Structure 1
Amino acid sequence: MKKTIVLTKIILLLAIILVSCNPHNSSYSKETNEDFDEEINYESKKRPITLVEQFIPPNFVIQSFLTSIDKETNELIIKLDFIINTHLYELLKKTDYYFFIEYPDKIQNITGSEHSDLVKGPTMDENNRLDYYVTFKQSLPSKSTYNIESILSNNSGYDLNIVNEQKEIVHIFKDVSIAATVNYEDSSSIILDKNDNNNKSSNSN
């Protein structure tokens, strides 16, 4: 009798073990792992393309920097022509990027603004075009309060800021008019540390 009871307990124990090892009971764990894998893959796809150190010549070369006055709209017009190489072209096909211009003191005093609005960079042409331009517009006060010649006579002191999709400054060309007139190896530009971005990127919005 005792042997029968012991044998029954052993059989029940084996049955419990077999049930617990049934692969159908591990479906929750498997589904959870699959969900986790999908989340990781999804996040990796969303990971932003970095543009830090990508706008250094010869990747990005400023070809001309021109200022003019639109007398009909009473606006300061700034046109920047630039050329990129195929490496930067491929990056910019996959992400948005922006520019803004920091004004020299003489323009700040006239406009009351430290910098232009944020302007979205051109969309990369599908025909592998590498030369582009961007235009900035700044409203001016009444014509009687400023001298046009004083604005157009000297293009020095304008700084070009390049901003990534997350609205973080990734590069600054100091005195962009100089960068437009010298060999790209000597162009005046600086690379930002990450800690330098926050204040300026918030001011550009």
Structure 2
Amino acid sequence: MNTDLISLFDADEATVRKVLSETLSGADDGELFLEHAQAEVLSFDNGRLKGGSFNTDQGFGLRAVAGESVGYAHAGELSLAALRRAADAVGQVTRGYAGSYAAAPQRTNKKLYGDENPIGEPSFEAKVALLQEVDAYLRAKDPKVRQVTASISASWQVVDILRADGHRVHDVRPMTRINFSVVVGDGDRQETGSFGVGGRRGLGDFVT
């Protein structure tokens, strides 16, 4: 998808910036925060796929700070009409207030992770096959294994932050995690062990 979230508005960037600048006029601080997020979770339990979910969220938050007062409004659609409604609500905290807009955060060029979407690769079928393989491997380790639970979760978040002074920050944040839980029993005695690993990388970086 297009990771330039501001371009997804039904208005050009100049118009969005104009609304933001007018809303935060006289404020001490504030910004327009835009987000697009995807998340997927697959869980395997008792030898079968027990759960699978996928969801997508998108929207913006608008914040204005005036002295001790903070105005905040948000919407789930990237439209000029929604932005103006939010601006009307947030702008109430700056009525009759004349502040000095805070300096923009210090910039950095340090890149800590890539921007690939871990949800699309590997495929759904490959992820299910991996969970099946994990289940079979752990059960084969010891006949005392009573239950194996394994899950794979992945998310992909795109963030755009726009300030009234023109400073813009853009980030794409991938995240992957895989978890295992094993229940081992012998007669009435039963114990559980678990392990998990993850990070801002693709699933292939954790599975060999």
Question: For this structure pair, what is the TM-score category when the shorter chain's length is used for normalisation?
Answer: under 0.3
Report the structure number with the largest CA radius of gyration: 1
Q: Normalized per residue, which structure has more strand? A: 2
With CA pairs under 8 Å and 6+ residues apart, which has the higher RCO, 1 or 2? 2
Q: Normalized per residue, which structure has more helix? A: 1
Query: TM-score by structure 1 length?
Result: 0.26
